[in-house]
Amino acid sequence: MTEPLITTPLRERAAQALGDRFLHEALDIATTRFIALRRDAFGDFPEGEALRDRARAIKEATLQRLDAHLETLVANIERLGGHVHFATTAEEAREIVLDIARRTGARMAVKSKSMATEEIHLNDALQAIGVTPVETDLGEYIIQLAHERPSHIIAPAIHKTKGQVAELFSRELRRPGLPADPEVLTKIAREELREKFLTADLGITGANFAVADTGTVVLVTNEGNGRMVTSLPRVHVAVMGVEKVIPSMTDLAVFLAILAKSATGQKLSVYTTLVQGPRRPGELEGPDEFHLVLLDNGRVAQLAGPLRESLYCLRCGACLNVCPVYRQIGGHAYGYTYPGPIGILLTAMLNGPASVRDLSHASSLCGACADACPVRIDIPRMLIELRREVDVRGIAPRSERIVFKALARLLRSPTLYRLAARIGRAAQRPFVSDGRIRALPSFFGEWTKTRDLPSIAARTFQERWRDLS
Amino acid sequence: MTSHKLGPDDGASSSRRAGARTTKAEFLARVRGEMAKTPGLFVAAPAERPAQPRQRLELLRRELSERWPHTLERFRAEFEHVAGVFHRVPTAADVPAALERICRERGARRVVSWPSEELGVAIAPVLGAAGIAVEPMPRAVPPDAERLRIRAAVAEADVGVTGADLAVAETGTLVLVAAAGRPRSTSLLPPCHVAVFDRTALVESLEQVGLALEAWHEGPAPAERGAVINFITGPSRTADIELTLTRGVHGPKEIHALFVDGGLGLHG
């Protein structure tokens, strides 16, 4: 069903990431560069801000009539000779794809980068029925060979050095002695994967958008693997969250104008591929079968839920790059399919609130994510909402709940508050130096381990005010 | 109050018979049920679609024909910015020689091409005389064995020559609509792609591309239309290894735009 709950505490996962010096440096370089590229792209594009507002409005308007848009999409895809399947859960989505693979006798599936298929853990399921899944995005290919998981939505292998990739290719592809040269390694991947594109039976993709009134599934890639996967195998299956539908081609033009700028700072990604069903009668190439799997997996419940706004997400990765937490710990430490600020919300959506007990606090609520988001998703608001959920459902640790309950009580009563200030002033004395508290005993020490606290003033503002009047 | 749900609706699916699939009706009913609980976050409308997009596009094309040199200049700048190579020839008759030069510079011996009816110019005679083999793509679908042979030929080719339906100045993008005689792989499998076009393909912005897409989908699609529309913005690229930009990972390593001032023989 859902992803298994991660049992290693976030604190340990983060500590491990923080101890990885290369990861730390790579993250810093990558995210800093992405931020600059994005800033420059929008700097040269004065209409960008207005387009972001329009894109946001299109997403909200689409959700308000989601049933109608989905119905139109389904009707149009069927009119074009495609098949549409409906998956309430990840398990159901997997079963649908496996059935198609079995029925068509597929032995190998080439895949274009897709978070939706990561989310439903499709690769393991394909493997289990004897279909070899081959990731064809270079970054995804690298981490598939290394049996790892993506660490960034749009740059899945940023945690690996070129030396590690050379070693990996030398070993896994039986081409010993490859140099640590990205140009050479990319050429090797081209050769290896070209062969797979030409022999695979099944092409599996996600979808960046689906245009309802023309039955079009839209894929955005830089490498061209999206084009290969949708044109060369006999069968093409696209797996897509329901929230990716948009009404019209006019709307598509709005999203295309902001998506790549937000992700990589390009005006447009190299390839935008509009797929409209299987090969048409007069066409030389293209799949004989086209399938779209519409995926719910927790999304539909959020139409009226606290995370509704996260259904606007375009998966561009801009919020990851600007997040001070992501920039320190990287994607793996989050533990689930979707990392970063939006990833915390999506994790809660897919796996329930218990999965974000700690993750909901992996944010300083600085708001950089909301500023960077092309559709202005108010991520901090929903993170606060998630923290509240985690608390009221009794998922939060006992100690945390007791402390917060006590604090809430204290802040509601002026008498108690003043009393606490007086007690605190006395109690803090052994720990204060230069007006700061730098180390506290027992579990309070967790707070001061990485930051100082200002000490309680010798006279509070209220006390001084009383003397003045 | 915490009546809302987080996490997928496992209850709904496990109560169903094992192996039974969610039907379209069930799926949409659930969507409707959840939608009914909220008016949404704010008053919002999708982008306003043009009424009569074909007429609007025709009008736009007439407007654009007045200022095409400016549009072309901007296209050239953006196309070069994404590492495309821009060429310009006076007339359609100059196209084969320009292609021959591109091939010669790369030592290319094998060219696959959209047929001359789709390009608006015949290239095989000149290239053939220069010892460069040109395989035109068929306009009618051949039997499966021949389709496989063609695919192998395209994969082995050094250069793929296509037309372009749109050239977008804002982004340096070429838009290619697949159709009978205009297959997808010509611009994808060979390591070098050359697109030949004239002023009628030029548009200024992505917004205008949106209008063209609306116009192309007004009414039923023409019988020869294919199932894919490709936007191509520069050569295939990746930066997945230590953010080092590398070209030609899966698609072409090189892309050329060949603009014909005097127009191609496509438009009557």
B240 closest CB neighbour out of A80, A155, A305: A155
In sign, the C-alpha dihedral spanning B103, B104, B106, B108 is positive
Nearest-CB residue to B232 (from A136, A197, A271): A271
Check: CB of residue B257 under 8 Å from CB of residue B79: yes
pLDDT tier, B135 (very low <50, low <70, confident <90, very high otherwise): very high
Q: Is A344 helix (H, G, I), strand (E, B) or coil?
A: helix
Count of CA atoms in the C-beta half-sphere (13 A) of A284: 26
Which B residues, 54 through 73, put their C-beta within 8 Å of a C-beta on chain A? Answer: none
Identify the bridge partners of residue B116 per DSSP, sorted by sequence position: none
d(CA B140, CA A362): 59
Residues of A in contact with B41 (CB under 8 A): 60, 308-309
Residue count (chain A):
469
Q: Is B25 touching A (CB cutoff 8 A)?
A: no
Which residues of chain A are within 8 Å of residue B231 when distances are taken between CB atoms? 256, 268, 271-274
pLDDT of residue B145: 96
The reply to whether residue B226 touches residue A279, judged by beta carbons under 8 angstroms, is: yes
- Residue B13: what pLDDT? 46
Whether the Cβ atoms of residue B196 and residue B121 lie closer than 8 Å to each other: yes
pLDDT at B16 over 80: no
Query: Measured between alpha carbons, how far is A387 from A399 in angstroms, rounded to an integer?
Result: 15
Q: What residue ranges do the domains of chain A occupy?
A: 10-300, 399-468
Answer yes or no: do A285 and B151 touch at CB < 8 A: yes
Instruction: Assess A271–B contact: CB distance below 8 Å, yes or no.
Output: yes
Chain A: closest CA distance from residue B132 (Å) = 24
| B169 → chain A, closest CA residue | A267
Taking CA–CA distances from B178, the nearest residue in chain A reads: A283
Task: Please give the structure tokens belonging to residue A280.
Answer: 């048409």
Q: Nearest by CB to A297, from B8, B179, B250: name it.
A: B8
Q: Quote the pLDDT of residue B19.
A: 65
- For position B4, what pLDDT does the model report? 60
Q: What is the DSSP letter of A300?
A: G
All residues of chain A having their beta carbon less than 8 Å from the beta carbon of residue B4 are: 301-302, 304-306
A156 DSSP assignment: T
Instruction: Give the three-state DSSP class for B169.
Output: coil
Helix A249-263 to helix A21-43 angle (10° resolution) is: 130
The C-alpha atoms of residue B232 and residue B17 are separated, in whole angstroms, by 47
Contact B206 A26 (CB under 8 A): no
Contact A283 B183 (CB under 8 A): yes
Chain A residue nearest residue B147, CA to CA: A284
A139 in B contact zone (CB under 8 Å): yes
Which pLDDT does position A1 carry in this prediction? 46
- Best residue in B2, B30, B31 for a mutation probing chain A (most A CBs within 10 Å): B31
Instruction: Please write down the HEC assignment for all residues of B253-268.
Output: CEEEEEEECCCCCCCC
A41 Cβ contact list (under 8 Å, min separation 6): A260, A261, A262, A265, A266, A267
CATH level 3 topology of A10-300: Rossmann fold (3.40.50)
Provide the edge-to-edge strand list for the sheet that holds A432-433: A432-433, A436-437, A453-454
Q: Is B12 in CB contact (< 8 Å) with chain A?
A: yes
DSSP state of A160: S
Q: How far apart are CA A401 and CA A444, in angstroms?
A: 15
pLDDT tens track of chain A, all 469 residues?
467 777 788 989 999 999 998 888 889 999 999 999 999 999 989 999 999 999 999 999 999 999 999 999 999 999 999 999 999 999 999 999 999 999 999 999 999 999 999 999 999 999 999 999 999 999 999 999 999 988 888 889 988 999 999 999 999 999 999 999 999 999 999 999 999 999 999 999 999 999 999 999 999 999 999 999 999 999 999 999 999 999 999 999 999 999 999 999 999 999 999 999 999 999 999 999 999 999 999 999 999 999 999 999 999 999 999 999 999 999 999 999 999 999 999 999 999 999 999 999 999 999 999 999 999 999 999 999 999 999 888 888 888 888 888 999 999 999 999 899 899 899 998 899 888 998 888 878 888 888 888 898 888 888 889 888 7
Give residue B1's pLDDT.
37
* CA–CA dist A287, A35 (Å, integer): 38
Q: How far is A303 from chain B (nearest CA, A)?
A: 6
Q: Which helix (H) or strand (E) holds B99?
A: helix B95-106
Q: pLDDT over 70 for what percent of chain B?
A: 93
User: Is residue B220 less than 8 Å (CB to CB) from chain A?
Assistant: no
Q: Is B225 within 8 Å of A280 when comparing Cβ atoms?
A: yes
Q: Indicate the residue of A228, A277, A304 with minimum beta-carbon distance to B188.
A: A228
Q: Closest-CA residue in chain A for B47?
A: A251
Dihedral sign computed on CA atoms, order A323, A328, A332, A334: negative
SS (H, E, C) A12-48: HHHHHHHHCHHHHHHHHHHHHHHHHHHHHHHHCCCCH
Any A CB within 8 A of B109 CB: no
Distance from CA of B255 to the nearest CA of A (A): 11
Q: According to the model, what pLDDT value does residue B28 have? A: 98
CA distance B118 to chain A (A): 14
Distance CA A26, CA A167 (A): 18
Residue B137: closest C-alpha in chain A: A284
> Count of H helices and E strands in chain A?
21, 13
Structural element, H or E, at residue B104: helix B95-106
Residue B17's SS3 state is coil
Query: Which amino acid would we find at residue B142?
Result: P
Q: Which residues contact A149 (CB under 8 A, 6 or more apart)?
A: A118, A143, A332, A337
Mutation target for B interface from A268, A308, A347, A390: give the one with most B CBs within 10 A.
Answer: A268
Chain B residues 127-156 with a CB less than 8 Å from chain A? 137-138, 140-142, 147, 150-151, 155
User: Identity (one letter) of the amino acid at A273?
Assistant: T
Return the amino acid letter for A121. H
Return residues 164-193 of B near A (CB < 8 Å): 170-173, 178-180, 183-185, 188
Q: Which residue of B has its CA nearest to A272?
A: B231
Tell me the residue ranges of DSSP E strands in A230-312: 235-241, 245-246, 271-275, 289-295
H/E element, B176: strand B173-179
Q: Which residues, listed in sequence order, are joined to residue B177 by a DSSP beta bridge?
A: B229
Smallest Cβ–Cβ distance between A67 and the set B35, B41, B188 belongs to: B35
Listed by number, the residues of chain B in 195-214 with a beta carbon closer than 8 Å to a beta carbon of chain A are 206-207, 209-211, 213-214
Cβ contacts of B155 on chain A, cutoff 8 Å: 194, 198
ipTM comes to: 0.95
* CA-based end-to-end distance of chain B: 69
In order of A362, A464, B126, B134, B206, the CA distances from B131 in angstroms are 65, 96, 9, 9, 40
Which residues 6+ apart lie within 8 Å of A313 measured at CB?
A: A243, A342, A346, A375, A377
Cβ atoms of residues A425 and A456 within 8 Å: yes
- CB of B182 within 8 A of CB of B116? no
Whether the CB-CB separation of A137 and A113 falls below 8 Å is answered with yes
Spatial strand order in the sheet of A216-221 = A245-246, A209-211, A216-221, A271-275, B225-232, B173-179, B166-168, B202-203
Q: What is the residue-wise DSSP string for B208-226?
A: HHHHHHHHHTSSSPPTTEE
Render pLDDT for B148-200 as a digit per residue (tens, 0 to 9). Answer: 999 999 999 999 999 999 999 999 999 999 999 999 999 999 999 999 999 99
Q: Residue A241 has which token pair?
A: 């969250």
- Per the DSSP assignment, residues forming a β-bridge with A223 are none
Q: In DSSP terms, which residues pair with B220 in a beta bridge?
A: none
Question: Is B6 within 8 Å of A349 when comparing Cβ atoms?
Answer: yes
CA dihedral sign of residues B144, B149, B153, B156: positive
- Residues in chain A closer than 8 A to B171 (CB atoms): 267-268
Structure tokens at A270: 């190299």
User: Which residues of chain A lie closer than 8 angstroms to B10, CB-CB?
Assistant: 1-2, 89
Distance of residue B123 Cα from the nearest chain A Cα, in angstroms? 21
B246 sits in which H/E element: strand B246-247
Cβ contact B236–A85 (<8 Å): no
Half-sphere exposure of A73 toward its Cβ, with a 13 Å CA cutoff? 33
* Adjacent-strand bridge partners of A274: A218, B229
Which pLDDT score, from 0 to 100, does residue B8 have? 62
Q: Is residue B91 classed as helix, strand or coil in its secondary structure?
A: coil
What pLDDT score was predicted for residue B221? 85
For A296-342, list the strands marked E by DSSP.
none
**B230 touching A (Cβ < 8 Å):** yes
Nearest by CB to residue A268, choosing from B22, B40, B231, is B231
Half-sphere exposure of A384 (CA within 13 A, CB side): 7
Per-residue pLDDT at A447:
80
- Per the structure block, which two tokens stand in for B51? 């009424």
CA distance B86 to chain A (A): 17
B103: which 2 tokens?
């091939």
**Segment B188-212, tens digit of pLDDT:** 999 999 999 999 999 999 999 999 9
Residue B11 has pLDDT above 80, yes or no: no
Task: Enumerate the residues of chain A whose CB falls inside 8 A of the CB of residue B150.
Answer: 284
Task: Give the Cα separation of A42 and A44 in Å (integer).
Answer: 5
Provide the 3-class DSSP secondary structure of residue A241. Answer: strand
Instruction: Give pLDDT, residue B267.
Output: 58
Q: Coil, helix or strand for A224?
A: coil
Is A380 an interface residue toward B (CB < 8 Å)? no
B78 pLDDT above the threshold of 80: yes
